[in-house]
Amino acid sequence: MMNLAIRIRGLRVVRGSLTVLDDFDLDIQRGSLTGLLGPSGSGKSTLMRAIVGVQKVAGGTVEVLGLPAGDKQLRDRVAYVTQAPSVYADLTIRQNLRYYARVLGAPISDVDRAIEQVDLGSHADHLVGRLSGGQESRVSLATALLGRPEVLVLDEPTVGLDPVLRVQLWELFNRLAADGATLLVSSHVMDEAERCERLVLLREGRLLADDTLPGLLARTGAADAEGAFLHLVEKAEQEVPS
């Protein structure tokens, strides 16, 4: 129990007339790097929002570091990066990060470190509004690296980035996990699965699998994560005829 960073039981989220998540359970160990994979619309972002505590939930419990999700004490311990970059387009990269660092009470020296970690050092004084989409989402990601967050919830942080940078960022995520942080990283690109120690596959708001990649491949006999995913979808549809 003490080693759980995230504990979800019976989570139910309804958005409009749509039940996005229903009776959803999930445990995530401290210091782990978990990939949250699934097609768009599978409920990944909603699940992440519930973990951060910005999603209205219809039922169930979400605990983060032993506290209810969104608890006041969690606000500088849990870092969250949305899919759309939430940064100020009319400020420079450095001004954005300085502001967020002051809000978090993080040392100002974190700003330059975070900018280097997302490889934007040469652009630090450029206006965010003039950056490319991929650069802008890296500014948003850098915000999550300020301070010393114990849990990082990152919604598709590597989408639209070039392969070299993607590898670098996954190395960074692994390093953060090795240092003791808990990371939950979503992606709809299945080949990113191989970078995570553990995979949570989501489809239409249901947990399809929760395993390591080798475990998943052994269980399904598939050659890669995408194959395993398709296999599990087929199996789920046979079990529950729609």
Partner 1 sequence: MTPRITLATAARVLNQLRHDPRTIALMLVVPSLLLTLLWWMYDGGAVFDRIGPALLAIFPFLVMFLVTSIATLRERTSGTLERLLSMPTGKFDFLAGYALAFGLVALVQALITASVAIGLLDLNTAGPAWLLIAVAVFDALLGVALGLFVSAFASTEFQVVQFMPALIVPQFLLCGLLVPRDQLPDVLEAVSNVLPLSYAVDAMSEVQTSTDPQVWGQIGIVLGFSVVLLALGAATLRRRTP
Does an H or E element contain 217, and which? helix 213-220
Please state, in angstroms and rounded to a whole number, the distance separating the CA atoms of residues 193 and 197: 8
* Residue 108 binds to partner 1 (criterion: CB under 8 A): no
* Owner of token pair 């953060």: 176
Q: Are 69 and 110 in contact (CB under 8 A)?
A: no
137 binds partner 1 (CB under 8 A): no
Structure tokens at 191: 């080949």
Binding mask 57-96 for partner 1 (x = CB under 8 A): -------------x-x--xx-x-x-x-xxxxxxxx---x-
CB of 117 to partner 1, least distance (A): 18
55 binds partner 1 (CB under 8 A): yes
Question: Are the CB atoms for 44 and 38 separated by under 8 Å?
Answer: yes
Nearer to partner 1, 90 or 239 (CB): 90
- Asked if 186 and 26 count as a contact pair (C-beta separation under 8 A), the reply is no
Nearer CB in complex with partner 1: 86/168: 86
Q: Which residues bind partner 1 (CB under 8 A)?
A: 15-16, 52-56, 70, 72, 75-76, 78, 80, 82, 84-91, 95, 99-100, 102-105, 127, 143
